[in-house]
Structure 1
Amino acid sequence: MSSDSDSRRRFLAGVAAAGAAALAGCSGLPFTGAEERREAPASLPPDVVGSIQWPASPFPATVSASIAEAHESRARGLLDDVPAEPDVPNAAVARAIADDREQATRRVEAEVADEWPVDVLSAWRRRREDAAEVRGAYRAATGSDDGSDLAARRRGVRDDRGALASALEYRAGSPTEAVLAYEPVESLLAECEGYVAPRVTYPDDPVAEPFRAGEAVARVERASAAAADAAGLREAYLAERGGRDGTAPRWASLVAAAEGLRGSVSRTRATARERTGGEEPFADEDLGGTVAQELVAVSELRIESAVDDVRRASDAGEYATVAIEAGTALAEIEAYRAAVGEIRDGEHRAVPSESSVRSAAERARTAVGEVVDVGDPLATRLVRPGLEIVGYVADRIDEGYGSARRSQTELAYAALYANVVPAAAAFVRERLARGPVGDD
Structure 2
Amino acid sequence: MNRLTRRQFLAGSAASLTTLAGCSSLPIVGERDPELGFDPATLSRSVVQDMPDPPETYSAPVPETLATRHRRRARELLNGVPREPGFANEGLSTELGEMRTDTLSEIENGPDEPGSLQRLDEWRSIRSDAAEVRAAYDAATGTLDTATLTRRHDRLRQDLRAFESAWQSPGRNTLDALATAYHLEDMRTDCWHSVDLGEPVPSNARMNPLDTGRLAGGLEEGRALLDDLTGLREAHREAASTLTSYQDTLSVMADQFRYLIPVTRRQVELYLGDDAGADDFERKIDGLPAEQVFYDVQAWTERRIREAREARIRRNYARATVRGGHALVMILALSQVVDAIQSGKYGMPETIEEVREYRDQAIAAVEEAQSVEPTRLAALLSLPAWNRLQWEVRDFQAPKRRDPPNEREVVRLVAAFVGAYHFANAVKPVVDRLREDLLDGTSVME
For residues 292 and 199 of structure 2, the distance between their equivalents in structure 1, rounded to whole angstroms, comes to: 39
Answering whether residue 315 of structure 2 is matched by residue 291 of structure 1, we say no
Q: Distance between the aligned counterparts of 1:332 and 1:90, measured in 2?
A: 52
Tell me how far 1:56 sits from its aligned partner: 5.7
Q: Partners of 2:114 and 2:186 in 1: how far apart?
A: 17
**2:330 equivalent to 1:332:** yes
How far has the Cα of 1:422 moved from its partner?
2.5
Contact kept in structure 2, 1:378 and 1:425, CA below 8 Å: yes
Show the counterpart of 1:269: 265
1:122-154 deviation digits (Å, cap 9, x = unpaired): 111111111001111111212213433333332
Distance 1:200 1:298, change over 3 A: closer
User: Is residue 318 of structure 2 the alignment partner of residue 320 of structure 1?
Assistant: yes
Residue identity opposite 1:418 in structure 2: A
- Identity among equivalent positions (%) equals 26
- What is residue 415 of structure 1 aligned with on the other side? 421
Structure 1 residue 274: Cα displacement: 7.1
The structure-2 alpha-carbon separation of the partners of 1:279 and 1:415, relative to structure 1 and needing over 3 Å to count, comes to: same
User: Partner residue of 1:20?
Assistant: none
Going from structure 1 to structure 2, the CA distance change for 1:310 and 1:362 (only over 3 Å counts) comes to: same
What is residue 357 of structure 1 aligned with on the other side? Answer: 355
Tell me: CA distance 1:347–1:307, structure 2 relative to 1, closer, same or farther (3 Å). same
State the secondary structure of the residue aligned to 2:426: helix
Partner of 1:25: none
Q: How many angstroms apart in 1 are the aligned matches of 2:265 and 2:70?
A: 42
Q: Which residue of 1 aligns with 2:153?
A: 154
Partner of 1:15: none
C-alpha contact 1:173 1:241 (8 A) present in aligned 2: yes
2:5 is matched with which residue? none
Instruction: Give CA-to-partner distance per residue, 1:153-172, whole Å, 9 cap, x none.
Output: 32222221111111111121
Residue 84 of structure 1 aligns to a residue in which SS? coil
Output the CA distance in 2 between the equivalents of 1:116 and 1:424: 30
* Match among 306, 309, 312 for residue 311 of structure 1: 309
**Structure 1 counterpart of 2:35:** none
CA distance in 2, matches of 1:236, 1:368: 31
Q: Return closer, same or farther for 1:427/1:69 CA change in 2, 3 Å cut-off.
A: farther
Residue 216 of structure 1 aligns with which residue? Answer: 215
Q: Is the 8 A contact 1:201 1:216 kept in 2?
A: no
Matches within 5 A, 1:28-39: none
Residues 213, 288 of structure 1: alpha-carbon distance in 2 compared, 3 angstrom cutoff = closer
Residue 374 to residue 116, structure 1, CA distance change in 2 (3 Å): farther
TM-score relative to the length of structure 1: 0.82
Determine the structure 1 residue equivalent to 2:227.
228
d(CA) in 1 for partners of 2:175, 2:57: 11
Name the Cα RMSD after superposition.
2.9
Q: Which runs of 5+ in 1 are unaligned?
A: 1-39
Secondary structure class of the residue paired with 1:271: helix
Q: Distance in 1 between matches of 2:330 and 2:115?
A: 22
Q: Which residue is 1:33 aligned to?
A: none
Shift, 1:181, TM fit:
0.6
Partner of 2:19: none
Residues 110/66 of structure 1: CA separation in 2 closer, same or farther (3 Å cut): same
Match 1:427 to one of 410, 429, 433: 433
The aligned residue for residue 190 of structure 1 is 189
Which segment is superposed worse, 427-436 or 64-73?
A: 427-436
Alignment-mate amino acid for residue 163 of structure 2: L
Alpha-carbon spacing, 1:271–1:116, altered in 2? closer, same or farther (3 Å): farther
In structure 2, the residue matched to 1:404 is 410
Distance apart, 1:414 and its partner CA = 0.7
Tell me the distance in 2 between the aligned counterparts of 1:67 and 1:307.
Answer: 33
d(CA) in 1 for partners of 2:319, 2:178? 7
Rounded Cα–Cα distance in structure 2 between residues aligned with 1:369 and 1:113: 26
CA contact (8 A) 1:42 1:397 kept: no
Measure the CA separation in 1 of the matches of 2:295 and 2:213.
41
The separation in 1 between residues aligned to 2:110 and 2:138, in whole angstroms, is: 28
- Which residue does 1:4 correspond to in 2? none
Greater relative contact order structure (CA < 8 Å, 6+ sep) = 2
- Residues 369 and 424 of structure 2 are in contact (CA less than 8 Å); yes or no, is this contact kept in structure 1? yes
Q: 1:72 to 1:300 in 2, by over 3 A?
A: same
Distance 1:88 1:378, change over 3 A: same
Could you list the runs of 5+ residues in structure 2 that have no partner in the other structure? Answer: 1-38
Return the letter of the residue paired with 2:351. Answer: S
